[in-house]
Structure 1
């Protein structure tokens, strides 16, 4: 009969054999495994270093292109928009590069009649009713509510009133400067827009809407749709160029280019966040005003070229 002591000795022998096997196996494999891992680490480190170097070179190229565009701007733009009156309308995510565009407009000789920054509250769908009410309260004698869209879309109605206030209106419906600035003041007081220096110097003959990346929060779909609605109303009121950043989903530039009607009346530039794009935006505006030609420029889907073709 097998006793308990035999079981203990047998189990001890098994565990001892396993331990010896592990030690021997580890000793046998330790060299090749460690060498293989060490080789992989060195290769990954080398690849990572090469990638960092490539990224650095690409960034240097981008910086050089920006420097070139900035240096070439006076030669490309000088006198192109002399005597032209332009209003800047800046959407919420585009404030970081609106000033660069303004500098390029000044280089081209344009007179910027004013800058209006649209707040996120304006494109928030939840404020549609309040915007509709405000449009009727803010309307003035020479900027009456009678000419506004007759529907329940507050963004559309308010955008139409702002466009009418900022742009030239055909005689005898010309707005007075006091009424123009009263409309802007009403929207500024309600925290829907910010008006530089609290006023504009007069009516503009064209507008550049500076659009950044699309909204991405929980209400993004409605906000992005509202931004396009605003663009549509400015298009109705007068010549318009939209300068944006990219052409991804929800992007204003992408929406304009994808619309068969809007793409024929609104010029677009998809890289206004760069110096090159700011220069091209000025050229696109000049082309629209001087040649009545609508172009789509930049690097994204729907762009016909990087910049307008010089007039013959």
Structure 2
């Protein structure tokens, strides 16, 4: 029969074997294996330091390039947009870089007729029927809803807003300031738009500021809503879409993918940078002076980094 003493002796033998293994293993590691491991660790540490230094150098270089462009922008843009009127229309994903774009437009001499921030509620496809009702309510004598698309709320509302905010075709009756203000108030009061400042008058061109694509379960439908908004403003006047990136379903990518829209809407895919904001202003210049559209930036399907400056 196995007794308690047998268990004690067995456990003692096991622990003694483990102790001997640790001693022998430590002695072995203190030799060539340990030296090899130390060399590898030291080599990896030095490599990491080199990579860290390279990243720091790149960050410094990018910062200096941004600083250079910030200082050069007034010289590049001077008087390119003198006496021109531009509206800033920002999507929820693009509001972080809207101020930088506005600054470049002003450097070119443009008058910003106003800034309108689209709220998520406007883009939400589930609000289509409600938006149709707001459009019917918001219509005014000089901003009628006759002849506007009426199947979807975003489409009709975008067409109504474009009619109120942009120049009318030559010979068309102008929008009164009171009617323009009333239209915007109706959408603002319902939480579809935010209008920080008073709109000073009609615009010749619109910069639609966008950002990354939607990624939630309604992403496809929301992307479609944003394209509908761009389509209606494009029909009413010159349009530049200034975004961040050119893939994954964002507005820049959708416009470039559509042969018809790409012919009339200019796109800039790096408007979150100083370089892209300068290019956005130059794209507006090209739209207004040459009636041309182009795809600019650093992403896929671009025509060039920036438009050719007019003679």
Deviation at 1:158, TM superposition (A): 1.0
RMSD of Structure 2 on Structure 1 (CA): 2.3
Write out aligned runs for 1:160-175 (5 A): 160-170=159-169, 171-175=171-175
Write out aligned runs for 1:228-247 (5 A): 228-247=227-246
Residue in structure 1 matched with residue 55 of structure 2 by the alignment? 55
Residue in structure 2 matched with residue 270 of structure 1 by the alignment? 269
- Provide the C-alpha distance between the structure 2 equivalents of 1:94 and 1:172, rounded to a whole number of angstroms: 33
Deviation at 1:10, TM superposition (A): 9.4
Deviation at 1:20, TM superposition (A): 3.3
Residue in structure 1 matched with residue 222 of structure 2 by the alignment? 223
Deviation at 1:8, TM superposition (A): 7.6
Deviation at 1:127, TM superposition (A): 1.4
Residue in structure 2 matched with residue 69 of structure 1 by the alignment? 69
Write out aligned runs for 1:111-130 (5 A): 111-130=111-130
1:259-290, CA deviations, whole angstroms, 9 ceiling, x for partnerless residues? 11100000111111111111111111111111
- Provide the C-alpha distance between the structure 2 equivalents of 1:150 and 1:118, rounded to a whole number of angstroms: 20
Deviation at 1:31, TM superposition (A): 3.1
- Provide the C-alpha distance between the structure 2 equivalents of 1:20 and 1:63, rounded to a whole number of angstroms: 59
- Provide the C-alpha distance between the structure 1 equivalents of 2:186 and 2:282, rounded to a whole number of angstroms: 33
Instruction: Name the SS of the counterpart of 1:248 in structure 2.
Output: coil
Deviation at 1:51, TM superposition (A): 1.6
- Provide the C-alpha distance between the structure 2 equivalents of 1:12 and 1:247, rounded to a whole number of angstroms: 67
Deviation at 1:17, TM superposition (A): 5.4
Instruction: Name the SS of the counterpart of 2:206 in structure 1.
Output: strand
Instruction: Name the SS of the counterpart of 1:62 in structure 2.
Output: helix
Residue in structure 2 matched with residue 27 of structure 1 by the alignment? 27
Unaligned runs of 5+ residues in structure 1 are: none
Deviation at 1:125, TM superposition (A): 1.4
Write out aligned runs for 1:67-146 (5 A): 67-146=67-146
Deviation at 1:190, TM superposition (A): 0.8
1:293–1:31 distance in 2 versus 1, CA, 3 Å: same
- Work out the number of aligned pairs and report it: 309
1:141–1:9 distance in 2 versus 1, CA, 3 Å: closer
TM-score (norm 1): 0.91
> Please, which moves more after superposition, 214-223 or 256-265?
214-223
1:88-133, CA deviations, whole angstroms, 9 ceiling, x for partnerless residues? 1011021121111111111111111111011111111121111111
1:4–1:112 distance in 2 versus 1, CA, 3 Å: closer
Instruction: Name the SS of the counterpart of 1:147 in structure 2.
Output: coil
- Provide the C-alpha distance between the structure 2 equivalents of 1:126 and 1:269, rounded to a whole number of angstroms: 29
Unaligned runs of 5+ residues in structure 2 are: none
1:271-310, CA deviations, whole angstroms, 9 ceiling, x for partnerless residues? 1111111111111111111111111111000111111123
Instruction: Name the SS of the counterpart of 1:233 in structure 2.
Output: helix
> Please, which moves more after superposition, 29-38 or 288-297?
29-38
Residue in structure 2 matched with residue 209 of structure 1 by the alignment? 208
Deviation at 1:14, TM superposition (A): 6.6
**Partners of 2:149 and 2:156 within 8 A in 1:** yes
